[in-house]
Amino acid sequence: MIEIIKIIVSFILFIIALFIPKNYDTLKIMLYFISYLLVGFEIIVRAFKNLWKKNILDENFLMMIATIGAILIKSYEEAVCVMLFYQIGELFQNLAVSKSRKSIINLMDLREDYANLKKNGKVVKTDLKKIKVGDLIVVRPGEKIPLDGIVLEGTSEIDTSKLTGESLLRVVDKDSYVLSGFINISGQITMEVKKTYDESTVSKILNLVENASEYKAPQEKFITKFSRYYTPCVIVLAIIVGIIVPFILNKDYTPYLYKALSFLVVSCPCALVVSIPLSFFSGIGKASMEKILIKGSSYLEKVAGIDTIVFDKTNTLTKGNFVIDKVKAYEISEDKMLELVSLVENASSHPIALALKQKNYKKMDLNKVSNIKQYRGLGIKAKVLDDIVLVGNAKFLKQEKIVFEENNEEKTTIYVALNDKYLGYITIVDEIKEEASLCMKLLKKRKIKTIILTGDKKQIADKVAKRLKIDEVYSELLPQDKVNILNDILAKKNKNKNVCYVGDGINDAPAIALCDIGISLGLKASEAAIEASDITIMADDLMKVDTVINIANKTMSVVRQNIFICILAKVLILLLTLLGLSTMWEAVFADVGITIITVINALLLLRRKV
């Protein structure tokens, strides 16, 4: 607000000075001087601070010497205009950055400032940072869930859209795991806190976004380095134009000094310095609107150069929810075999076990089962009434010396035996995500190579790759195998292109960290994957991978447009200045006007469709 007031007062004084008659020169000059100091004092201070730090080669130094030179040749109104319009340009930039930041903050309007702590039978509003793991908190209808935890009492519908983008409400009850940022809609729930505020989902997301602008893209670094060479060249050329040329030609110094000063003003690289970081920030803001959190602009630029994407399979290309595909029973009915399997698998929380017991879960008599013994990586053996039931893979049945015929289908197969006699098998499938096929088609159109790295069986991985038309597939891998294969892929890549890895599990974290771009996908992504990733997609939507590429391409397009606009305008005005066909007014437009144009162009990125 203070900056706006200073600009307004400076502008009013400038207008008054313009209309004061020439016979009141002292008053006129005084008003110009006050107007100049109101908008230029801060720039002059910055220039001297940089001079003290031996860092004079920036736009502040150029602005200072250009305007002081204009005052020396008695072009007072032009000196004021340079500073005034420069500050107006800065104001436009700040407004644009605020709008971009606001779009991110609106997305992250997730945080509660307090929690309803339940202690000694009482519920008290308590600061989030005072809540510890294990504390009980109450979340009433309409409140945001303040911390991550497990529901102990109550049933309710919750709105997860702020985090996941899903419009459908989710029902939670006892033992449901809920995240901070979800909104409780219908019923009161009591939950046990599993993460403190600093470790909560919302806190991590907010930190991710707030720190995003601290990372600079190579394009920005280039401009910083560019000004170190550019500024001294401009100053040398200005000295040649303003002092050496009139000395050689034995001409009056005043018009040449005027040209040199105009040359200095128009040469300021502030339009580039302002517009390019803003373009990247707008891109990050646009991505955040799409539930895509990018840790910095350097990663946004890298995404635009992707030519290979490596995918994990489970929970990334597939849903990770196993369902029964086929039941084949020989000695008993299919329903009877499913009931036996459900009873035995009831003790296991493995995803495959959940699929096996889902049909008969509610009608099972768990008193029938006893002596349950699990064999890691093989299966389960248990006693159902007086019978011994085995449920497991082919290796388990072979180990137990049970005669059976192995199923050759490209599916996960669970074999069942009763009292050492083979009963039949059940095939389990992990469903491919509905949007996976369309996503792969869009990536093909972009000429991006696709690869699967998975620890799953070769037959299953090959089937998914064939369905989705993936270019290459590597299966039955341990985490270290993924890293070794990725190292080979990275070693063979084009040096101007980037390799991206998309995954969600703890075992994906090393691969995510290794690649040029690492993306953690979905609400189920592990903390290790999120921590290692450069980009986090807070939705279980594979199409967001294509969306982030689209945003990155549009951002880089805006960056290139702004660079072209700045350089073209400056070259044209510089030529006109050297030929004596322009004044400092044109120089001001080239420096400040182009800044405003490029800032608006960057800001429009927030409104463009992806």
Residue numbers annotated as active site: 312
Distance of CA 26 to the CA centre of its chain: 57
- Measured from the Cβ of residue 433, the count of other Cβ atoms closer than 10 Å reads 20
Look at residue 126 and give its three-state secondary structure: strand
- Name the burial class of residue 409, with classes exposed (0-12), middle (13-18) and buried (19+) by CB atoms within 10 angstroms of its CB: middle
Element at 441 (helix H, strand E)? helix 436-445
Q: Residue type for 66, please? A: A
Strands 517-521 and 498-503: parallel
- Contact between 161 and 182 under an 8 Å Cβ cutoff? The reply is no
Tokens, residue 344: 């035995």
The span from the CA of 356 to the CA of 344, in Å, is 10
How does DSSP assign 91-113, residue by residue? HHHHHHHHHHHHHHHHHTTT--S
| 178 φψ region: left (φ > 0), alpha (ψ -120 to 50), beta (else) | beta
CA 344, 349, 352, 358 torsion: positive or negative?
A: positive
Give the burial string for 107-141 (b: 16+ CB within 10 Å, else e): bbebbbeebbbbeeeeeeebebeebeeebbbbbee
The span from the CA of 398 to the CA of 361, in Å, is 29
Q: What angle do CA 573, 93, 275 make, to 5 degrees?
A: 55
Return the axis-axis angle of helices 25-52 and 59-72, rounded to nearest 10°: 150
Tokens, residue 538: 């807070």
Give the burial string for 357-383 (b: 16+ CB within 10 Å, else e): bbebeeeeeeeebeebebeeebbbbbe
- Measured from the Cβ of residue 60, the count of other Cβ atoms closer than 10 Å reads 23
Which residues lie across from 157 on neighbouring strands? Answer: 171
Element at 544 (helix H, strand E)? helix 543-578
Q: Which residue, among 41, 42, 43, 34, has the nearest Cα to 12 in the 3D structure? A: 34
Q: Which residue, among 323, 314, 330, 461, has the nearest Cα to 405 in the 3D structure? A: 330
- Contact between 515 and 501 under an 8 Å Cβ cutoff? The reply is yes
- Contact between 130 and 111 under an 8 Å Cβ cutoff? The reply is no
Q: Which residue, among 589, 127, 497, has the nearest Cα to 307 in the 3D structure? A: 497
